[in-house]
Structures are given as structure tokens and as C-alpha cells.
């Protein structure tokens, strides 16, 4: 049976599409919470104990159910990434393994999403649901970067000190994300008016989160200075500038949120920003090593 063959570039585009859907599902999930629609469908996998699908006349149920339906689009994009790894020429086992990793985490996140509803949006479970989505995006970014080169170990583009700083930045970014979920769990937007919040003082948890962001920015600027001092390839410098800019913008959004009473629309922008900053720091770290690009087979589909 004849099967189409994919060039490395075509496969990377498929992975990019899957990665975009992963970011969108995080944002739509946040929209469910910020509109108070978290329990619009009070059961899982059905909407409630009397309806399989949502009552389209109920706004909260419709928003929650449409978010669940978008999970189907994410699943299709991830399946395309898996199938594409088999059709890609040359075929590589590492890409297949990473794409299958997406499948496993998507399934796990769907189950955890169901647990989130069944536990009535317990803040700890909501936080775990978001953090698993962040892990899923990490898987997608790694797959996208690997799909862009030949899979060899590569050649370092910067000093060992800068490569260490790259790993430190990823670690601090994780701290920022975790403390951000504590702020979210303590703050006003629980996904439903009846959801209890974490028993912390909002001012204190915001202060801790803010300090982690300042530490993140300081290390990012320090890394940029190190790059400029020792000379750096253009692509590394560009990714560093994107990272610093993303942190500054995200920090400004966070402070605006705090001083304006956390309006839902701005909180949604902040969630989007958190995923983009996460992608930026991952791409910076992964971009510190250069890999040869695979030569496209002329007979493959581009």
C-alpha cells in the first residue's frame, strides 16, 4: 500500500500545529475558570447525570463543554504528530518516542481534567492540571526542536557557564509557574462561586511569586550579559532577547493584574503569557547547542 512520505520540514510543521493546539487548550481551560464555568458540566465524561452533552442554552455549561470538545482537536493534532513520525523520511525513533509521549500526557491530562470536575475544582487539583499541561508543552517544544535537526548530539554554541545558566533559567521558570498556581488557587477566580480557595494571605503569596519573577529576570539579564561579553551566534542572542522581553511583558501584566483587582480578561492574557514565557525559556536552553539540519529528500512531500 502506498503511503505519503514527509520531509523533515513538513513533519516539523505538523508538530508546530500540535504545539499551538496545546497552548490554545491551556488558554481555553483558563477561560472556563475565569468565566465561572468550571462546574457548568458537573460530571465527567458526560456533562451531568442527566445529559451527555451540555444544554446549549446554559452559558456556563456550553463554555465548559466546548472546552472539552476542543480536547478532540488537540488529540487529532497529537495523533497526526505520531503518524507523521512514521511517515517522515528519514524516520527516527527518537521523534516517535517523543510524539508518543504527547499521547500519554494528553490522556493523563484528560483524566486529571475529569478528576478536577469530580472534586469540584479543588485548587490543588486545578494547579496539578495546569502544571501537567505545562509538562505537555515542554514535550511539544522538545519534539519541535528535535524535528528541526538530524538528531545528532550537536555542538555547543556557548560556554559551559552559559549552558548552566540556561538550565538554571528553566528551573526558575518552573518555580515561577508553581508559585503562580498558588496565587491562582488563593485568588478570586476559582471557576465557580462556591469553590473554596487556598487558606493563604493573597498579599504574601503574590509577594513570593513576584520575587521568583524578579529572580528569573535577573538571571535572564545576567545570561544576556554573559552572551554579549563573550560573543554569541545571532540565533542564540535572538532567543535570549525574546526571553528577556517576554519576562518583562509578563511581569508588567502581573503587576497590572494585582493593582486593578485581577480582571478576568487580563488574567486570561497572563495565562497565555505564562505559556509563551515557558516556550521562550525552553527554546533558549535547547538552542544553546547547534545541530545539523537534515537534507530534504526530493521525493518527499514538503
Long-range contacts of 88-96, Cβ-Cβ distance < 8 Å, separation of 24 or more: 88/5, 88/6, 88/7, 88/8, 88/10, 88/11, 89/5, 89/6, 89/7, 89/297, 89/299, 89/300, 90/294, 90/297, 92/151, 94/146, 94/151, 95/11, 95/143, 95/146, 95/147, 95/151
- Model pLDDT, residue 173: 98
Is the pLDDT confidence value at 278 over 70?
yes
Closest CA to 168 of 285, 55, 37, 299: 285
pLDDT at res. 47: 83
Residue 301 has pLDDT above 50, yes or no: no
Given a cut of 50, whether residue 8 has pLDDT beyond it is yes
Statement: residue 288 has pLDDT above 90: yes
Q: Which three cell numbers stand for residue 211?
A: 520575587
Q: Is the pLDDT of residue 300 over 60?
A: no
Give the global pTM.
0.92
What phi and psi values does residue 252 have, to the nearest 5 degrees? -65, -40
Q: What is the average pLDDT across 209-215?
A: 97
Q: How many angstroms separate the CA atoms of 17 and 248, rounded?
A: 27
Which residues, listed in sequence order, are joined to residue 289 by a DSSP beta bridge? 156
Query: What is the pLDDT, as a whole number, of residue 79?
Result: 95
Q: Give the model's pLDDT for residue 67.
A: 85
pLDDT of residue 276 exceeding 90, the answer is yes
| Structure confidence by residue, pLDDT tens digits, 106-158 | 999 989 988 998 888 899 999 999 999 999 999 999 999 999 998 888 899 99
- Please give the pLDDT value at position 228: 87
**Banded model confidence at residue 295, pLDDT cuts 50, 70, 90:** low
- pLDDT bucket at 2, cuts 50 / 70 / 90: low
How much is the pLDDT for 45? 78
Amino acid at each position: 500500500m502506498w503511503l505519503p512520505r514527509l520531509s523533515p520540514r513538513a513533519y516539523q510543521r505538523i508538530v508546530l500545529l500540535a504545539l499551538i493546539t496545546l497552548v490554545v487548550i491551556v488558554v481555553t481551560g483558563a477561560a472556563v475558570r475565569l468565566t465561572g464555568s468550571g462546574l457548568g458540566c458537573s460530571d465527567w465524561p458526560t456533562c451531568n447525570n442527566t445529559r451527555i452533552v451540555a444544554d446549549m442554552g446554559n452559558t456556563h455549561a456550553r463554555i465548559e463543554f466546548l472546552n472539552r470538545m476542543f480536547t478532540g482537536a488537540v488529540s487529532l493534532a497529537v495523533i497526526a504528530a505520531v503518524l507523521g513520525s512514521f511517515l517522515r523520511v528519514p524516520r527516527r525513533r527518537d521523534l516517535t518516542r517523543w510524539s508518543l509521549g504527547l499521547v500519554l500526557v494528553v490522556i493523563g491530562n484528560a483524566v486529571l481534567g475529569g478528576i478536577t470536575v469530580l472534586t469540584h475544582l479543588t485548587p490543588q487539583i486545578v494547579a496539578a492540571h495546569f502544571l501537567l499541561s505545562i509538562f505537555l508543552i515542554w514535550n511539544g517544544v522538545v519534539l519541535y526542536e528535535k524535528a528541526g535537526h538530524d538528531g545528532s548530539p550537536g555542538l555547543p554554541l556557548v560556554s559551559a557557564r552559559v549552558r548552566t545558566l540556561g538550565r538554571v533559567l528553566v528551573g526558575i521558570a518552573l518555580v515561577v509557574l508553581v508559585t503562580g498556581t498558588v496565587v491562582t488557587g488563593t485568588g478570586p477566580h476559582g471557576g465557580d462561586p462556591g469553590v473554596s480557595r487556598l487558606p493563604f494571605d493573597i498579599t504574601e503569596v503574590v509577594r513570593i511569586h513576584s520575587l521568583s519573577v524578579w529572580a528569573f529576570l535577573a538571571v535572564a539579564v545576567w545570561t544576556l550579559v554573559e552572551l554579549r561579553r563573550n560573543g554569541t551566534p545571532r540565533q542564540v542572542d535572538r532567543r535570549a532577547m525574546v526571553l528577556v522581553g517576554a519576562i518583562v511583558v509578563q511581569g508588567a501584566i502581573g503587576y497590572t493584574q494585582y493593582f486593578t483587582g485581577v480582571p478576568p480578561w487580563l488574567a486570561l492574557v497572563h495565562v497565555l503569557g505564562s505559556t509563551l514565557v515557558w516556550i521562550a525559556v525552553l527554546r533558549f536552553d535547547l538552542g544553546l547547542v547547534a545541530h545539523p539540519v537534515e537534507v530534504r529528500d526530493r521525493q518527499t512531500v514538503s
